[in-house]
Chains A and B, each alone.
Chain A
């Protein structure tokens, strides 16, 4: 995709784009002005609905529809942006916030106008400390120049923008935990319903959108739904940021139309597998992925929400972790499980205890002291976490475990005294200090 077709990275490579005048010179805030001065909130919602924009945080829920669920005649309302990306393999929002900050801010501000909210909170993971410092300078410029504050463009619409830093808790990427965190509490998920559209932040109607999602909005308002649909597929329109990591030649973010094949993503844009090795498996949505065995059919799969779902996996946030032929899946799963065990908020017993026991078994398997029965026990524990937790974290923790046990059982059995093949298994790499 050439730069002219970028939507999310439209301004990424322009020098001094963090200077408001430079952004304005490239058409910045024309969409916001158009929305506030010539469109009703409902017209903005309809345009985004027609564009078919879907949430980029993972779930793929239609964005315009989400905005239309806000409880009628209930004010104040809030727009909360989820910039808490914290899953291993995900680093797209950081690039938007760093290299295209004003487009993001403009998208969030149009979202607020459509939602009839006068306050935006952007929840950013604490690790992105310097990213927030940069964003706050951008916000200050917007207040100085009258794009934020009272009576915008001479209308009655007023808007404030604040940042709220997280402090190192993956669970706060779950929207209700995120809202708890802004309220100054532990980041533990709420029972749903009520949903945020009815009772969100401070029990008021709230839209929670991902950073990448709202960064699409200025293009849609400026150019219309039809122009947006020039990219992507019928059901998954637009472009997407794909985060490439692991054994890829060129790690980093690439923006491509939804529906690009895995083959094109990896071999054309990612430069192929590092050191020319074979491509064993892929995780398309970060550490919580269904681990997919790579074959020609998978390589030809279009990466859009429906086609990936048809493969029994999820496109999610498109955090693509590449695993080459040298990788031992029992070690991969040790790594993912260690992450989810650490990040379990402790509220639901199956997740809190189950991730602990899965990690213990996986450590035993990786150290070589396990029996085949331990692999079966791992399967058993994983199945007892499934479908038994309030939020998706527990589910996320078992997804790669069960998928790997199904597709790569040999990688686990090879470490066991009674399940290993006659040839000696390769030695597992054990994490430093684990």
Chain B
């Protein structure tokens, strides 16, 4: 149970909002539950509902609405690549296709054979000047990996970054 293991984190989250506005804590608590469980199962949603007094159906609605909450299991880490316009103008489409191929993935949302990485196609991540770029979402949060403005990150370098994350 989250309430057993993360009592102080939950108290800190609830403290950010007025006492009668516990519903505001739904989003940060979902991040906490997702870090703890890997994804937001029905049980996790029920727990967040119980802490905040919000109906599980409404909590599930929040999970479905926001793209950084996941109600299904995937690889240990989610690798999220942007190919929106500014990235695409700097070659992100071809880069992403090569990246998928290097990981032996046929299409988006597939997971590598070792279960480490699920590669997802996401919308703009706010790193348009550092394209191609990707972020990694895992139990520790979300972390950027980007090109330099004057030098694009190669697919080799990106694969190397993922190799370095394994076992951590």
A interface residue numbers (CB < 8 A to B): 85-91, 94, 125-130, 133, 162, 164-170, 181-187, 202, 243-247, 250-253, 287, 319, 321-323, 327, 332, 335-336, 338-339, 342-343, 345, 429-433
**In the complex, which range does the number of interface residues on chain B fall in?**
35 or more
Residues of B within 8 A of A431 (CB): 83, 88, 93
Q: Do A90 and B126 contact each other (CB < 8 Å), given the known contacts A251-B149, A332-B85?
A: yes
Q: CA–CA, A287 to B82, complex, Å?
A: 14
Say what secondary structure dominates the interface of chain A: mixed
- B97 at interface, CB cutoff 8 A: yes
Q: Are B129 and A343 in contact (CB under 8 A)?
A: no
Q: Do A339 and B90 contact each other (CB < 8 Å), given the known contacts A133-B141, A184-B27, A252-B149?
A: no
What is the total of A-B residue contacts with beta carbons within 8 Å? 162
- B16 at interface, CB cutoff 8 A: yes
What residue of chain B has the Cβ atom nearest to residue A287's Cβ? Answer: B85
Q: Do A88 and B89 contact each other (CB < 8 Å), given the known contacts A127-B135, A127-B142?
A: no
- B167 at interface, CB cutoff 8 A: no
Q: CA–CA, A126 to B66, complex, Å?
A: 10
Q: Do A181 and B27 contact each other (CB < 8 Å), given the known contacts A129-B141, A247-B89?
A: yes
Q: Are B85 and A336 in contact (CB under 8 A)?
A: yes
Contacting residue for B23 out of A90, A183, A319, CB 8 A = A183
Residues of B within 8 A of A343 (CB): 123
Contacting residue for B142 out of A126, A181, A336, CB 8 A = A126
Residues of B within 8 A of A85 (CB): 126
- B62 at interface, CB cutoff 8 A: yes
Q: Are B127 and A91 in contact (CB under 8 A)?
A: yes
Q: Which residues of chain B from 17 to 34 have any CB-CB distance to chain A below 8 Å in the complex? A: 17-18, 21, 23-28, 30-31
Contacting residue for B28 out of A164, A187, A339, A432, CB 8 A = A164
Q: Are B62 and A184 in contact (CB under 8 A)?
A: yes
- B96 at interface, CB cutoff 8 A: yes
- B125 at interface, CB cutoff 8 A: yes
Q: Are B123 and A187 in contact (CB under 8 A)?
A: no
Q: CA–CA, A327 to B125, complex, Å?
A: 23
Residues of B within 8 A of A91 (CB): 126-129
Q: Are B16 and A335 in contact (CB under 8 A)?
A: no
Q: Mark each residue of chain B from 145 to 160: 1 if its CB lies under 8 Å from any CB of chain A, else 0.
A: 0000110000000000
Q: CA–CA, A39 to B70, complex, Å?
A: 48
Q: Do A339 and B124 contact each other (CB < 8 Å), given the known contacts A245-B129, A321-B86?
A: yes
Q: CA–CA, A252 to B88, complex, Å?
A: 16
Q: CA–CA, A433 to B65, complex, Å?
A: 23
Q: Are B23 and A167 in contact (CB under 8 A)?
A: no
In the assembled complex, 24 residue pairs joining A and B whose CB atoms fall closer than 8 Å, in A order, are A85-B126, A86-B124, A88-B86, A88-B128, A90-B126, A91-B127, A127-B125, A127-B144, A129-B143, A164-B24, A167-B31, A184-B23, A184-B26, A245-B131, A251-B90, A251-B131, A319-B128, A321-B85, A335-B88, A338-B84, A339-B84, A339-B85, A432-B100, A433-B121
